[in-house]
């Protein structure tokens, strides 16, 4: 198995908000990146956003023009899981759905070389259960980046029940190679950050739903009253309301406490396709349609 410094080829599956940022980080760290998405349009959007993000960094002097163009050149879009067969590390960042992720892990286990480490960027799904879909549970691990990955300094590493010490050490060093600070969580629903964050976001939805205050006042209250850089409703829009709902359902099912039961307003927004900033409309409007805080 490759050590962190020997990880040369990284597969990233899912070229959405998270996968595109993860691909950018791995390419900037010198890895050859194979980027795969079921939707070709997502790949085109990802390449455009990675290129403009790296060129912005170069324009500000954070990296040289040559390093910027080299990084962009290290990213190759691919169209089939088989194209990832030689990756040293695969990071999955597809939709937050356990069955869909498990099917992908089964496929990855079959086609990647025996030494490949399989990581998931899941926000809440059990790494142990994803690992159990493979014949290499010792090489399956959670690598939870934060949004947007190039900016946020944290990676939360989740050890499944069978993740080996060697794989944990490799992924920890690789995360540091990406310039991140690492925290380690055992494999319980929501891990550390979402276990604490999602009940707050859910409570903010309840406050809006029950008419306690306007969305603006709820967010301003938490920004100025608790020194958060962004209010919980705006943060939910940035994360994606579908992702928030999925995580709350995992917390509710896994921990069995009604306090995690998703607010009906959050469910309704997701049902209506108001998924947040990525769709132009969530709790707030981002320049496409009009927004209303009323259920
Ligand atoms: P997104 O909706 O922006 O992107 C997901 C991408 O995966 C889409 O482009 C979709 O076409 C693709 N996809 C779906 N199923 C696929 C499959 N079977 N094979 C290949 N591609 C597939 O979602 P986002 O926000 O990037 O989230 C991805 C993962 O990262 C989820 O597991 C989420 O929980 C996790 N995550 C999200 C964070 C956030 O703030 N949005 C933060 C940390 C983790």
Q: Of 20, 121, 123, 175, which is the active-site residue? A: 123
Is 144 among the catalytic positions? yes
- Count the Cβ atoms, other than its own, within 10 Å of residue 188: 15
Q: Of 92, 144, 202, 246, which is the active-site residue? A: 144
Please tell me if the CB atom of residue 128 comes closer than 6 angstroms to any atom of ligand 1: no
Is 98 among the catalytic positions? no
- Write down the ipTM of this complex: 0.99
Predicted local confidence at residue 252, as pLDDT: 97
Atom of ligand 1 nearest to the CA of 103: 18
CA 277-195-122 angle, 5° bins: 60
- Percent helix / strand / coil, the chain, rounded to 5: 50, 15, 35
Q: Count the residues in the chain.
A: 295
Q: Which residues fall within 8 angstroms of residue 166, CB to CB, at 6 or more apart?
A: 1
| CB-count burial class (<10 Å; 0-12, 13-18, 19+) for 249 | middle
- Count the Cβ atoms, other than its own, within 10 Å of residue 166: 13
Give me the tens of pLDDT residue by residue for the chain, a chain 295 residues long: 888 889 999 999 999 999 999 999 999 999 999 999 999 999 999 999 999 999 999 999 999 999 999 999 999 999 999 999 999 999 999 999 999 999 999 999 999 999 999 999 998 899 999 999 999 999 999 999 999 999 999 999 999 999 999 999 999 999 999 999 999 999 999 999 999 999 999 999 999 999 999 999 999 999 999 999 999 999 999 999 999 999 999 999 999 999 999 999 999 999 999 999 999 999 999 985 444 433 3
With 0.90 as the threshold, say if the pTM is over it.
yes
| CB 130 within 8 Å of CB 120 | yes
For ligand 1, pick from 95, 126, 236, 237 the residue to mutate: most ligand atoms within 8 Å of CB.
95
Is 156 among the catalytic positions? yes
| CB 7 within 8 Å of CB 31 | yes
Predicted local confidence at residue 149, as pLDDT: 97
Centroid of ligand 1 to alpha carbon of 64 (angstroms)? 30
| CB 140 within 8 Å of CB 130 | yes
| CB 65 within 8 Å of CB 42 | no
């Amino acid at each position: 198995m490759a050590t962190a410094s020997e990880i040369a080829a990284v597969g990233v599956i899912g070229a959405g908000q998270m996968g595109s940022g993860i691909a950018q980080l791995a390419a900037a760290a010198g890895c050859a990146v194979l980027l795969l998405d079921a939707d070709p349009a997502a790949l085109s959007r990802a390449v455009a956003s990675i290129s403009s993000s790296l060129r912005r960094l170069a324009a500000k002097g954070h990296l040289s023009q040559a390093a910027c163009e080299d990084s962009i050149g290290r990213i190759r879009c691919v169209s089939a899981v088989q194209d990832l067969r030689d990756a040293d590390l695969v990071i999955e960042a597809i939709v937050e759905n356990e069955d869909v992720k498990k099917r992908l892990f089964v496929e990855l286990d079959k086609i990647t070389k025996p030494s490949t480490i399989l990581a998931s960027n899941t926000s809440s799904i059990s790494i142990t259960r994803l690992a159990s879909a493979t014949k290499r549970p010792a090489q399956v691990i959670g690598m939870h980046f934060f949004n947007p990955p190039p900016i946020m300094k944290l990676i939360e590493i989740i050890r499944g029940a069978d993740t080996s010490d060697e794989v944990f050490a490799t992924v920890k060093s690789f995360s540091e190679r990406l310039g991140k600070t690492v925290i380690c969580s055992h494999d319980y629903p929501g891990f550390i950050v979402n276990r604490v964050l999602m009940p707050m976001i859910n409570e903010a939805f309840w406050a809006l739903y029950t008419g306690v205050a306007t969305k603006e006042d709820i967010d301003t209250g938490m920004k100025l009253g608790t020194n958060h850089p962004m209010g919980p409703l705006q943060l939910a829009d940035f994360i994606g309301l579908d992702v928030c709902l999925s995580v709350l359902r995992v917390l509710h099912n896994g921990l069995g406490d009604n306090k995690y039961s998703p607010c009906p307003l959050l469910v309704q927004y997701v049902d209506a396709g108001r998924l947040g900033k990525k769709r132009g409309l969530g709790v707030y409007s981002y320049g496409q349609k009009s927004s209303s805080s009323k259920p």
